[in-house]
Amino acid sequence: MTRMAATRDGYGQALLDLAGNPKVVVLEADLGKSTKSLHFRKAHPERTVSCGIGEQNMLLVGAGLASAGYIPFASTFAIFTERAFEQMRNGVARPNLPVHLCGSHGGTHTGTDGSSAQSIEDLAVFRTLPNVVVMHPCDDVSTRALTMQLPALGKPSYMRTARNKTPVLYDGREAEIQIGKGVVLEEGTDVAIIACGVLVSEALKAADQLKQEGVSACVVDMHTLKPLDGALIDRLVEQCGALVTAEDHNIIGGLGGAVAEHLVSNTFAPLERVGVPDRFGESGQADEMLELMQISAPHIAKAAQRALTRK
Amino acid sequence: MSTSIEEIEEIARKCRVEIVKMVYRAQAGHPGGSLSEIDLLAALYATRMRVRPDEPKWNDRDRFILSKGHASPGMYAILAEMGFISHEDLKSYRVLGGVCQGHVDMKWCPGVDFSAGSLGMGLSFGMGCALAARLDNSDRRSFVMIGDGEMQEGSVWEAAMAAAHHELGNLKVILDRNRIQNDDFCEEQMRMFDIPAKWKAFGWNVKEIDGHNMQEVMEGLDFLEAEENCNGPSILIAHTIKGGGISYMENNPSFHGAAPNEEQYNQAMIELGEVKA
Ligand SMILES: Cc1ncc(C[n+]2csc(CCOP(=O)(O)OP(=O)(O)O)c2C)c(N)n1
Ligand SMILES: [Mg+2]
């Protein structure tokens, strides 16, 4: 049986693992129980700073700590990281201070809290900031592995995690995870599906369905959106000649946007983008949301078929 | 006032029943802050709000802005009591396509004047509504309910300063001072020291009451409406109990955003007098 877990739990575990580094500090904005920084808070209260419900303050407190050599890990819901976007831009990214921001409960998959909580633009907005590394891992193992690599990064980052459990894909495969390097989870020759976050497991399901339809689909986990693994995309174009991107994020500006930007300036292949169709979400269960937004496995498979016809 | 204290208390009791039912059915949502605010909402809607349930977009209606929009079950319950929505609609709480979205949303639910969910936004919005009323030469008021944890957002204080500067006597805030936020007690998360003094220093008229004592609630609402307090914005600081009315939820941070299980649900129905023990 596939183990199920939420990426936010991988984040919480990684913070604990990193505690041996005395420079690591954790910043909270009254959502530590949800983002999972609470484990660190319990174990290391002296290195945990409660900022109350004040995301803007939290980001700049982090910047100040980073300027003094500390490595701050700040978290809140993905949607509320956006509240502090300009703080991240002018206070963190511009001076290139290594503040690591984690936005949990990202995407429409977060469910019944509804549209106000479903961030569908975080990846896009943080991707526009110079110096900022942007990640959206798909399972707890890779989330933990990526988070563990952040202290060595030396620049700011944004990572989106998810609220709900999804299949674990990397048990025993931590070593394959590296910031900036996409992972080929399944080889294929007709079409390549490049996915991130909760849609990676949907992409694998879509590949299964495509196999039944006689199509060999390659599946890639593009956990890092910036810097984008352009070399891998070039290889996929060569190998498959048609691409699909899949993300629980607005169709504008996220993974699909990043891949499209790469294609137009480098090599060329038909690209179909699966993403939230430029609309806000609503209250619904996680699986209902993927259906409503037309981003679940069958929709990814359909997009792959469309990409094939455009070869 | 034609509605008696006992009648308002009965409305509040019925709303408490609906709050627990909504959260139990959805197995998600925010009972704590819905139960702490409900006596205030019941009194406000039953005796003060100038609204027309059959004409929810009537331009000269008083506005009510639930800035702590996660406490939506409380608002849906009172909207159903007042006839803006049906009791059947309450079953759509957190259900796909339902009028009762997880957080109150003006696009989805009749009687809701603000799309909430992000804390610290409602007071600024309420100020805009108050300014619009002034520009329209309308005597409608703008009531805003905020949470105490919410008060930690800097934007609340931007609005507080601006509303006093613009002498918005038609802007009236109720603070649900239940002393708990998401993760823990406010005292642990972010101490706020002398809250009445802060609002006074920002130029507001301030009164403190027990938000579960209906007599005091009515006096507090009188204070908000009083002519002599219409020189500028006013705030009613209501001391409440998070989860108030359900013994095991009271003062319990874990019921900020968690649903009761079956046994707890049954106990709540007994405590609220819905079923005999
Ligand atoms: C800007 C923002 N940050 C964080 C949250 C997540 N959140 C939802 S409710 C809550 C606690 C609110 O506490 P309080 O204002 O005291 O409300 P109440 O106790 O009345 O439920 C938090 C942090 C949010 N909704 N908006
Ligand atoms: Mg509170």
Using a CB-CB distance cutoff of 8 angstroms, which residues of chain A are in contact with residue B118?
79-80, 83, 116
User: What CATH number has the domain bearing residue A259?
Assistant: 3.40.50.920
Angle between helices B72-82 and B5-26 (to 10 degrees): 130
d(C-alpha B74, C-alpha B70), whole Å = 9
Last residue of a domain, one of A167, A192, A227: A167
A100 φ/ψ angles, rounded to the nearest 5 degrees: -110, 115
Of residues A54, A117, A292, nearest to B153 (C-beta): A54
- Domain annotation covers residue A83: yes
- Whether A269 and A295 map to the same domain: the answer is yes
- Whether A31 and A111 map to the same domain: the answer is yes
Ligand 1 atom, smallest distance to A83 CA: 1
Domains and CATH numbers, chain B: 5-271 (3.40.50.970)
Task: Please give the DSSP secondary-structure letter assigned to residue A132.
Answer: -
Residue B242 has pLDDT above 80, yes or no: yes
Q: Are strands A183-186 and A217-221 parallel, antiparallel or unpaired?
A: antiparallel
Ligand 1 atom, smallest distance to B153 CA: 1
- Domain annotation covers residue A173: no
d(C-alpha A46, C-alpha A26), whole Å = 10
- Domain annotation covers residue A139: yes
Catalytic annotation, residues of A: 55
Chain B residues contacting A, CB < 8 Å? 26, 28-29, 69, 94-98, 101-103, 105, 108, 115-120, 149-150, 152-154, 181-183, 188-190
d(C-alpha B179, C-alpha B242), whole Å = 7
Q: With beta carbons less than 8 A apart as the criterion, state whether A232 and A180 touch.
A: no
Query: Which amino acid is present at B49?
Result: M
Angle between helices A199-212 and A297-309 (to 10 degrees): 60
Residue B131 has pLDDT above 70, yes or no: yes
Q: Number of structural domains, chain A? A: 2
**What mean pLDDT is predicted for residues B184-195?**
98
Q: Is B118 in the pocket of ligand 1 (CB under 6 A)?
A: yes
d(C-alpha A97, C-alpha A264), whole Å = 31
Q: Is B102 in the pocket of ligand 1 (CB under 6 A)?
A: no
- Whether A37 and A101 map to the same domain: the answer is yes
- Shortest-distance Cα residue to atom 12 of ligand 1: B181
Residue B126 has pLDDT above 60, yes or no: yes
Note down pLDDT in tens along chain A; length 311 residues.
799 999 999 999 999 999 999 999 999 999 999 999 999 999 999 999 999 999 999 999 999 999 999 999 999 999 999 999 999 999 999 999 999 999 999 999 999 999 999 999 999 999 999 999 999 999 999 999 999 999 999 999 999 999 999 999 999 999 999 999 999 999 999 999 999 999 999 999 999 999 999 999 999 999 999 999 999 999 999 999 999 999 999 999 999 999 999 999 999 899 999 999 999 999 999 999 999 999 999 999 999 999 999 99
- Domain annotation covers residue A270: yes
Using a CB-CB distance cutoff of 8 angstroms, which residues of chain A are in contact with residue B94?
112, 114, 283
Instruction: Give residue B193's pLDDT band: very low, low, confident or very high (50, 70, 90).
Output: very high
Nearest to B85 by CA among B73, B68, B70, B99: B99
Nearest to B183 by CA among A80, A77, A35, A30: A30
- Whether A155 and A38 map to the same domain: the answer is yes
- Whether A45 and A146 map to the same domain: the answer is yes
- Ligand nearest to the Cα of B152, by number: 1
Interface contact flag, B120 A53, Cβ < 8 Å: yes
> Which token pair is B187?
């005292």
**What mean pLDDT is predicted for residues B78-88?**
98
- Domain annotation covers residue A174: no
Nearest to B202 by CA among B237, B162, B149: B162
- Domain annotation covers residue A203: yes
Q: Is B182 in the pocket of ligand 1 (CB under 6 A)?
A: yes
> Which token pair is B172?
């009236």
Residue B232 has pLDDT above 60, yes or no: yes
Helices and strands: H and E segment counts in chain A: 13, 14
Instruction: Give residue B53's pLDDT band: very low, low, confident or very high (50, 70, 90).
Output: very high
- pLDDT on residue A1: 77
Last residue of a domain, one of A108, A136, A167: A167
How many angstroms is it from A183 CA to the middle of ligand 2? 44
Nearest to B204 by CA among B238, B226, B236: B236
- Whether A296 and A195 map to the same domain: the answer is yes
Q: Is A81 in the pocket of ligand 1 (CB under 6 A)?
A: no
- Domain annotation covers residue A49: yes
- pLDDT on residue B263: 98
Q: Which residues surround ligand 2, an ion (CB under 5 A)?
A: B 147-149, 178, 180
C-alpha dihedral (B261, B90, B246, A31), degrees to nearest 10: 70
- On the CB side of A75, how many CA atoms lie within 13 Å of its CA? 30
- Whether A138 and A10 map to the same domain: the answer is yes
- Give one DSSP letter per residue of B208-270, joined into a string: EEETT-HHHHHHHHHHHH-GGGTTS-EEEEEE--TTTTSGGGTT-GGGSS----HHHHHHHHH
Using a CB-CB distance cutoff of 8 angstroms, which residues of chain A are in contact with residue B101?
114-115, 282-283
- Nearest chain A residue to B121 by CA distance is A83
- Nearest chain B residue to A83 by CA distance is B118
- pLDDT on residue B139: 97
- On the CB side of A23, how many CA atoms lie within 13 Å of its CA? 14
Q: Is B66 in the pocket of ligand 1 (CB under 6 A)?
A: no
Task: For residue A203, give how far its alpha carbon lies from the nearest alpha carbon of chain B (Å).
Answer: 24
Interface contact flag, A282 B153, Cβ < 8 Å: no
Task: For residue B250, give how far its alpha carbon lies from the nearest alpha carbon of chain A (Å).
Answer: 20
- Domain annotation covers residue A172: no
Using a CB-CB distance cutoff of 8 angstroms, which residues of chain B are in contact with residue A114?
94, 101-103, 105, 117
**What mean pLDDT is predicted for residues B193-216?**
98
Last residue of a domain, one of A116, A144, A167: A167
Ligand 1 atom, smallest distance to B182 CA: 11
- pLDDT on residue B225: 98
Using a CB-CB distance cutoff of 8 angstroms, which residues of chain A are in contact with residue B97?
282, 284
Instruction: Give residue B277's pLDDT band: very low, low, confident or very high (50, 70, 90).
Output: confident
- Whether A211 and A163 map to the same domain: the answer is no
- Whether A56 and A199 map to the same domain: the answer is no
- Whether A147 and A195 map to the same domain: the answer is no
- Tell whether A112 lies on the interface with B, counting CB pairs under 8 A: yes
How many angstroms is it from B139 CA to the middle of ligand 1? 31
Query: Which amino acid is present at B232?
Result: G
User: What CATH number has the domain bearing residue A137?
Assistant: 3.40.50.970
Nearest to B61 by CA among B136, B117, B142, B4: B142
- Whether A187 and A271 map to the same domain: the answer is yes
- On the CB side of A50, how many CA atoms lie within 13 Å of its CA? 24
- pLDDT on residue B2: 82
Q: Which domain holds residue A46?
A: 4-167
| B71 C-beta neighbours (distance < 10 Å), count | 29
- Whether A254 and A146 map to the same domain: the answer is no
